[in-house]
Amino acid sequence: MLTNTRPIISDQDADNLKSFLGRRTVMGAGLAAGGLLATPLSAMAAAAAAPEAEITVDQARTAPIPIILPNFGGGLGAQIAEVLSNDLTNTGLFKVLPGGASTGAPDFSTAKATGARALVTGTVSGSGSVRVEMRLWDVLTQQQIQGTAYTTSSANWRRIAHIVGDVIYERMLGEKGYFDTRIAFISRSGARAHQRTRLAIMDQDGANARMLTAGNWLTLTPRFSPVKDQVAFMSYANNRPRVYLFDLGSGRQQILGEFAGISFAPRFSPDGRSVVLSVTRNGGSDLFVVDLASGSRRQITASGAIDTSPSYSPDGSQIVFNSDRGGSPQLYIMSASGGGARRISYGNGTYGSPVWSPRGDLIAFTRIANGSFSLGVMNPDGTGERIMTEGFTVESPSFCPNGRVLAYCRQTRAGAGGAGFNSTIGMVDITGFNDRVLPTPGQASDPAWSPLNG
């Protein structure tokens, strides 16, 4: 079974975090507990069926979709509109135009004159419990594409904005959005040589950041569970590096197995029932799988080399990992049960930090060549390698739930005494489009994207 240890945070701090962190619980609860109810709104235009998405992401990348957003009636409505506008704009796929009526049938002729392809109408009413009505319209066909009313506690207003953004993204582009998600990361502070590191979590847009650990111990590599409110991470707590599980519903943690060596680089299986990780052994490291229900563990590599950074394919049948078994760190793929490892990276330099896309079509990685870092993707068979961004240090890629965007860590070179060093979280489209820095509270690294609604 998983064992407890002296808490990384106190029970009191855990209780204080509990109400903020349990997102899935909140989504399934009644209104009295702060839950959210979504109710369809009948169409206000012609009775014809709403059109399917006709704009591809590639088209929107070349020519962002002009969309009109209202202020939803001012006050809290204006705050929701601002978050929604930022979500859409930050993708680089939408061009947000202000204005438009909040209620009633839109003025399509005026909207068409602005060049808008779509427009939104809606209102916000109530105080403690709020109702947000949203309708999405196709300007060219003058039809309602989507109509939904959301009723929830006013404390959930930012989530409503993200959820509305996901609806717009999906209806306009034909693929799931990713705005109602969070990112676990490592918050860094202090002098470069002695940085304080804390496990932290925030919304995908950088808002609502919360520190989960006190920073007494070095903390690294958080990873979200795909099905539970849990984060796996590595901590040097009590001066013994090990992998822990942090429960976002209770704010408490457990050690993930007792190993003779150091355990590190955890990653959940797609069904959330197990974690694969690295354990140091005899000068190298091997991969082990730990069953979360029973605590049983199974060794799946024994190469005598350093095998690390494992990541499952979306169907759970394969694992990509980093190994120096061939003389230098490269990427390998093998069966999830172990065995049959084959090398897939053959470019210039060394490779690490592989992570499989939720779509299954790409593997992201870090490559080091000629003293500099680059972040790229390749097909699972090693073909089609593409570099998306480069820098002094770019590492720790993590896919958003729809596989469209990667979060990663970008660090600058440190001068004398650590001067000039900076560590930030970047985001980039899988084509290398729209590379930008995410606003975070201070320096940050090791981003890990949650599943949708996570």
Residue 367 main-chain phi, psi, to 5 deg: -125, 135
Domain of 135 in residue numbering reads as 34-173
- DSSP H/E element including 161: helix 157-173
227 and 166 inside one domain: no
Alpha carbons 163 and 177: distance in angstroms, whole number: 9
Q: Please, are residues 350 and 378 in contact by the beta-carbon 8 Å criterion? A: no
294 and 157 inside one domain: no
Q: What SS3 state is found at 169?
A: helix
295 and 405 inside one domain: yes
Asked, for residue 14, whether it belongs to a domain, the answer is no
270 and 329 inside one domain: yes
Task: Return the pLDDT at 51.
Answer: 53
Alpha carbons 91 and 131: distance in angstroms, whole number: 27
Q: Name the residue type at position 150.
A: Y
**In which residue are the tokens 């039809």 written?**
143
Among 138, 173, 208, the domain-final residue is 173
**In which residue are the tokens 């849990």 written?**
230
Task: Return the pLDDT at 99.
Answer: 80
**251-234-341-281 Cα dihedral, nearest 10 degrees:** -130
For β-strands 242-247 and 423-429, DSSP reports them as unpaired
259 and 339 inside one domain: yes
Asked, for residue 107, whether it belongs to a domain, the answer is yes
Asked, for residue 1, whether it belongs to a domain, the answer is no
Among 173, 207, 234, the domain-final residue is 173
Alpha carbons 71 and 76: distance in angstroms, whole number: 9
Residue 267 main-chain phi, psi, to 5 deg: -155, 130
197 and 76 inside one domain: no
Task: Return the pLDDT at 46.
Answer: 44
Task: Return the pLDDT at 453.
Answer: 86
Alpha carbons 392 and 398: distance in angstroms, whole number: 19
Q: Name the residue type at position 427.
A: M
Asked, for residue 11, whether it belongs to a domain, the answer is no
Q: How many C-beta atoms surround the C-beta of residue 413 within 10 A?
A: 10
The count of domains in the chain is 2
Query: What tokens appear for 19 in the block?
Result: 């109400």
CATH number of domain containing 423:
2.120.10.30
209 and 152 inside one domain: no
Asked, for residue 3, whether it belongs to a domain, the answer is no
167 and 201 inside one domain: no
215 and 109 inside one domain: no
Q: Which residues of the chain have pLDDT under 70?
A: 1-34, 44-53, 100-101
Q: Please, are residues 157 and 80 in contact by the beta-carbon 8 Å criterion? A: yes
Give the tens place of pLDDT for each residue, 359-390: 999 999 999 999 899 999 999 999 999 999 99
Asked, for residue 10, whether it belongs to a domain, the answer is no
Asked, for residue 390, whether it belongs to a domain, the answer is yes
375 and 411 inside one domain: yes
For β-strands 350-356 and 307-312, DSSP reports them as unpaired
Q: Please, are residues 316 and 336 in contact by the beta-carbon 8 Å criterion? A: yes
CATH number of domain containing 131:
3.40.50.10070
Q: Please, are residues 307 and 326 in contact by the beta-carbon 8 Å criterion? A: no
**pTM score:** 0.91
289 and 419 inside one domain: yes
Please name which of 436, 438, 410 lies closest in space to residue 423, comparing C-alpha atoms: 410
Alpha carbons 435 and 426: distance in angstroms, whole number: 7
Task: Return the pLDDT at 323.
Answer: 98
Q: Please, are residues 162 and 87 in contact by the beta-carbon 8 Å criterion? A: yes
Tell me the CA distances in angstroms from 12 to 21, 161, 308, one per residue in order. 15, 31, 35
104 and 196 inside one domain: no
Residue 347 main-chain phi, psi, to 5 deg: -80, 180
Among 121, 138, 173, the domain-final residue is 173
Asked, for residue 300, whether it belongs to a domain, the answer is yes
